[in-house]
Amino acid sequence: MRLIGDKFPEIEVETTHGKIKLPDHFAGKWFILFSHPADFTPVCTTEFYSFQKHYDDFRNLGAELIGLSVDQVFSHIKWVEWIEEKLGLKIEFPIIADHTLDVSKELGLIHPNKDTTTVRAVFIVDPNGVIRAIIYYPQEIGRNIPEIVRALKALKTFDEKKLAVPANWPENELIGDRLIVPPAKSVEDAKARLEAAKKGEHECYDWWFCHKKA
């Protein structure tokens, strides 16, 4: 089972867009791999509809999407056709057909107390092929797609600014859209934080909790 900070495994997958080598296929880009329990199920259908609705949000952040379940590729194709025909939305991103369970076992996607269907997992992978975030949901609960967009934006913001991101950012209840200065690593650094606050470089509740504009 892969963890945050691990390299995404090098694997070749069968998808609705043909065979793809991961993570090479998305080299230089962020990508979000998300698994779903099964095609032609109500909750999964609402998720795929929402992922597609937010696809431009992901692409505007330099990221691509790729889905996955243990269904055969012909099932994926028919389900995608059904969504377009009945719901009026074309699914543009590829879907992995992991009927051999190879990818699911590699990434830890099989629920140990259920059956061979995959849990609702999300892997956010950076342009270097490093797993930066992992989110798991039970089969019974659909995901919040805007939160995945927010997590991606937060990771990119941290990489650019080297400042931590608070809860519910950019609408944090304490500091709004401001970012958190990394913790002090010495007594001198702690004192310097407060001195810097007096000069207006950032604001502090205390030396260990300082924040600044993005």
Catalytic positions are: 44
Q: Residue 23, preceding bond cis, omega within 30 degrees?
A: yes
β pairing state of 203-206 and 30-35: unpaired
Tokens of 19: 């065979």
Cα three-residue angle 43-12-147, rounded to 5 degrees: 35
Tracing tokens 């692409």 back to the chain, one arrives at 59
β pairing state of 63-69 and 30-35: parallel
